[in-house]
Amino acid sequence: MSFLEIILIAIGLSMDAFAVSITLGLSISKLKTKEYLIPGIYFGFFQALMPFIGYFAGTLFTAKIDSFEHWIAFVLLGFIGGKMIKDSFSKDDEIKSGNPFGIIKMLLLAIATSIDALAVGITFAFFKINIFYAIIIIGLTTFFISIGGVIAGRFFGAKYKSKAEFFGGVVLVMLGVKILIEHFINMKLL
């Protein structure tokens, strides 16, 4: 597998993290420098960790993971997106549920957006590529794309905060639904 192919895989894997990063950028009126970096760190780490785990799990757990990974992503994204939709109707400037960059929320988002990377790691095992090389590329790509997402969300968020937060919640719910639909489509194709 070439460098370019790994970069393209990394970009593809980071698109969910990018969408979620936009919603995080929309969620607070004033962001500190560290809040621009937090999504990149969480998403980059988990996008690198999941292929690493998948690589070593190989085909041993493929059937078990395939049977429920889509449900995990669907529930996590649906819950967080639903909460954002609910919070968008609040009159407050800040999200009532607390810091959108909190540890628990970021962990849930990072896991939900990186589950598909687990399957990529399993496929990497079949290609016998250098997994450390691949996960560094995936992690760094996701890190920078996520920071770009926060910046984009921040740029649009000040003017359209409640509408943007509602839209961000809808995007998260739709990502969960997309994962579920793709799973069922793939099931019928097999």
Q: What is the mean pLDDT of the chain?
A: 80
pLDDT of residue 93: 44
Where do the structural domains in the chain lie, given as residue ranges? 3-189
pTM beyond cutoff 0.75: no
Residue 158's SS3 state is coil
Of the segments 3-7, 20-24, 36-40, 96-100, which one has the largest average pLDDT value?
A: 36-40
Q: How far are the Cα atoms of 32, 100, 163 from residue 37, in angstroms, in the given order?
A: 9, 13, 24
For residue range 21-49, list pLDDT tens digits in order: 888 888 776 778 888 899 999 999 999 99
Report DSSP state, residue 104.
H
Residue 136: pLDDT band (50, 70, 90) is very high
pLDDT of residue 96: 44
Distance from C-alpha of 126 to C-alpha of 134, rounded to nearest angstrom: 14
The string of DSSP codes covering 19-64 is HHHHHHHHS-SS--HHHHHHHHHHHHHHHHHHHHHHHHHGGGSHHH
pLDDT of residue 20: 86
CA 71 to chain centre: 15
For residue range 51-96, list pLDDT tens digits in order: 999 888 875 765 565 677 677 767 767 877 787 788 778 765 444 4
